[in-house]
Structure 1
Amino acid sequence: MFALLKAACKAPVRTAAALATAAMLAACGPMPSGGGFGGPALQPGDPVKVALLVPQNSGTSGDAVLSQSLENAARLAMSDLEGVEIDLRVYDTGGNAATAQSAANRAVVEGAQIILGPVYAGEANAAGLAASQGGVNVLSFSNNTSIAGGNVWVLGHTFENTGQRLAQYAVSHGKPRGVIAYSTDVQGQTAATAVRDAVARAGGSIVAEVPHEFTQQGVVNAVPQIKSAVETNGADALYLTANTAGALPLFSQMLPEQGISSDTTQFVGLTRWDIPSQTLDLPGVQGGWFTLPDPNRTAQFNSRYGAAYGSAPHPIASLAYDGIAAIGALAAQGRGLGAGDLTQGAGFQGTGGVFRLLPDGTNERGLAVATIQDRQVQVIDPAPRSFGGAGF
């Protein structure tokens, strides 16, 4: 999940599918306290001025393609709006915090009423600080919850959201005693914290934890420790924070060889186990649980994007669509772009289903719980279609 970190907060950890935006970085400076700004007023009938900040000329491989895909998705969302006109202006951040700050400053001066992006954690933090001077809110493509708050929201999928969905499902389906296996890098520790908190909120308990180094030998050494932790503590769920580009393939092979699998102890994955498709062949993922956005909605977006642009969207391009969809929905309702508007309890409909922005700058997405049977993905608990308008 924590796939795209750089700029002043550099050191990317990329997943195989690059399904998330920026990696956790505690070193980034804090955003202003509070719950965002009231935002510039929207005048009925006037175009909503949206600044899209992308790392077009960062020099990093793939960023130009990513940037174009984000813009394409934003414009696709604009074409779906009824009765709302968006004045979209694109600004290049260069993939670094200093340029992102300048771009945000320029966007505010040029009348931006809200900022969509940037991608990376350091950029988003810097852009948020700059935009705060003009009372403008920022919907970043990051999933780094350490930069969330003040006038910055993260649109990316977070471990907190995933952990909450999985823990509630596991505990309510007779799997209350969990073991966490996690790497000691930032991604692993962040995921472990999310699981810890989520299981406690769901009424379950974490009976043991097995941290391991983010190396092949570290994973090998962890396998007998995991086996012992599961058997000694009578665990009925094993939460694996690893992704397909990291330790998951090794765990998937070695744990069943030691007699630990979803047949005896439910495997629960904090990352997407269906991407890339080769992951479906791994022995240990069979019968495991993980989350994904509403697959029907996702397929519809991918199909429409492909028809419009002749290629598949970048894995995080959907976040740009979601941002425009939220902005357009508020404008259509005659609301503004202030914190109270952005955090409306009912949320918004996006490419993967319903989502909402929370007052602390994070987000909640309606996720489906899925499993893998005979190397095929099966949804075992559909994504919710609404939040029922619940407040906070």
Structure 2
Amino acid sequence: MAFHRLRGKLLSFTRAARKLAALGAASAALAACAVPSDVGSGGGGVQGDGGPVKVALLVPYGSARGSDAQVARSLENAARLAVGDLGAGTVALDVYPTQGTPGGAQAAAAEALAAGAQVILGPLYADNAAAAGVAVSGTGVPVLSFSNNTDIAGGNVWVLGNTFQNTARRLLGFAARQGRNRVLVTHATNEAGQIADRAVRAGAAGTGAQITGSVGYDLSQAGITAAVPSIRAQAESTGSNAIFLTGNTAGDLPVISQLLTEAGAGGETYRFLGLTRWDVPAEALALPGLQGGYFARPDPGPLGQFRARYRGTYGGEPHPIANLAYDGMAAIGAVAASGGTVGRRSLTASSGFAGTGGAFRLMPDGTNERALAVAQVLNSSAQVVSPAPSSFGGSGS
């Protein structure tokens, strides 16, 4: 397929797909949450008075961004759906607007702390989450943000969004077990591409896969076209048998996958691995260059349940990241229901929690691990070839 046809197809993708690709797309919600078996005393949390755990939800009401009000409403709806599932007396939820700014988030966190909040759920943006973390630093109050930017993770701040490193680890482990253990990484040379490259490299540790190198390209037609010969040459010279494509369906992925395939650097010889969701939008699965490649996604079963319940309750579709609010509340509620203090030790229980895309757990370094399925693109459809693990006793096969 010629480049201009690919570009035309690319530009026809929906604006919603652009937002989803950057976030990795969110998954689904279960009606119940798991109670961790090793919550201990909570460790570092704020001891309550024996009543409901006081949770402050920080969302971007009042933001100058036109889309933030809808996102905020969807996050609040999902959190309230989780509160209802937890049952009366488990958590008490109060909502604080952040205006979508670091200053607003810091002020909201301080106000919530003064009102007795024991946990902060949110805020949305990475810089907002960092500011909220500063506002409650040293208090033991955890901040469970809706970001997936691991640069702000650590201390009392966690990220709930699925991270690139988590996706890379799952795919590289699966690929290595299939004999695709020598992987060349391709990425745009902009900041986002460099972040993706670093995430794949970091995710390779302990998977059995070896990163043979990486090749960058300018995010343009000329840049991608110029890089293809170099990618193929490096794949051959390093004995690679897989190529990691870090682009997304709303940007470079349709073009680079097709041009590499036409250049003989794809297909069976160099199996493609994808860092982003290839099924968002669904039309992307028909792209010729992606056929046979692998990407990771949450368990679709719980996602369908969450969306159906959200529609039934609120009469509309949830925002793609609304599930993160449900997950955060489910984790808080699981600890509270077990009688533990919601804090570092209980939130980082190794057994994890049941979430909207399957099992997930919060890590001591502020990142998270989510159980993901591996899908292969076959005949323009996504077929699960390795189901998402139901717990963290194993890593899937």
CA distance in 2, matches of 1:313, 1:227: 42
Per the alignment, in what secondary structure is the counterpart of residue 336 of structure 1?
A: coil
More relative contact order in 1 or in 2 (CA 8 Å, sep 6+)?
Answer: 2
Classify the secondary structure of the residue corresponding to 1:250: helix
Equivalent position of 2:236 in the other structure: 231
Residue 174 (structure 1) aligns with:
179
For 2:289 and 2:309, locate their aligned partners in 1 and report how far apart those are by CA, in whole Å. Answer: 34
CA–CA distance in structure 2, aligned partners of residues 37 and 153 of structure 1: 15
Report the Cα distance in structure 2 between the residues aligned to 1:309 and 1:382, rounded to whole angstroms: 30
Question: Sequence identity, in percent?
Answer: 53
Q: Which among 29, 37, 46 is matched to residue 40 of structure 1?
A: 46
What letter matches 1:277 in structure 2? A
Residue in structure 1 matched with residue 227 of structure 2 by the alignment: 222
Deviation at 1:189, TM superposition (A): 1.3
Matched, 1:370 2:363: no
* Separation in 2, partners of 1:84, 1:186: 45
165 and 206 in structure 1: CA distance in 2 versus 1, 3 angstrom threshold: same
- Indicate conservation of the 8 Å contact 2:228/2:260, yes or no: yes
Q: What does residue range 1-392 of structure 1 map to in structure 2 within 5 Å?
A: 15-18=18-21, 20=23, 38-44=44-50, 46-82=51-87, 84-388=89-393
Distance 1:16 1:51, change over 3 A: closer
Q: Which amino acid aligns with 2:342?
A: L
Counterparts of 1:288 and 1:198 in 2: how far apart (Å)?
19
TM (normalized to structure 2)?
A: 0.87
Q: Distance in 2 between matches of 1:181 and 1:383?
A: 26
Preserved contact between residue 79 and residue 329 of structure 2 (Cα < 8 Å): yes
Task: Find the aligned partners of 1:21 and 1:149 in 2 and give their Cα distance.
Answer: 21
Work out whether residues 76 and 321 of structure 1, in 8 Å CA contact, stay in contact via their aligned partners in 2: yes
Shift of 1:175: 0.7
Question: How has the CA–CA distance of structure 1 residues 167 and 265 changed in structure 2, closer, same or farther, with 3 Å as cutoff?
Answer: same
Q: Structure 2 vs 1, CA of residues 348 and 77 (structure 1 numbering), >3 Å: closer, same or farther?
A: same
CA contact (8 A) 2:140 2:343 kept: no
1:142 and 1:155 in contact (8 A); partners too: yes
**Which runs of 5 or more residues in structure 2 are unaligned?**
1-16, 26-41
Instruction: Compute the displacement of 1:220 (Å).
Output: 1.7
**Contact 2:311–2:317 (CA under 8 A) maintained in structure 1:** yes
Q: Encode CA deviations 1:161-208: one digit per residue, 9 max, x unaligned.
A: 111111111111101111100112222112211222333422332223
380-389 vs 58-67, greater mean Cα deviation = 380-389
Deviations 1:337-358 (A, max 9, x none): 1100110110000110000000
Q: Call closer, same or farther: CA 1:275–1:141 in 2, change over 3 Å.
A: same
Q: Distance in 1 between matches of 2:318 and 2:21?
A: 12
Deviation (angstroms), 1:218: 1.6
CA distance in 1, matches of 2:222, 2:43: 49
Following superposition, the deviation at residue 37 of structure 1 comes to 6.7
Contact 2:348 2:363 in 1 (8 A): yes
Displacement of 1:61 in angstroms is: 2.5
CA distance in 2, matches of 1:79, 1:18: 30
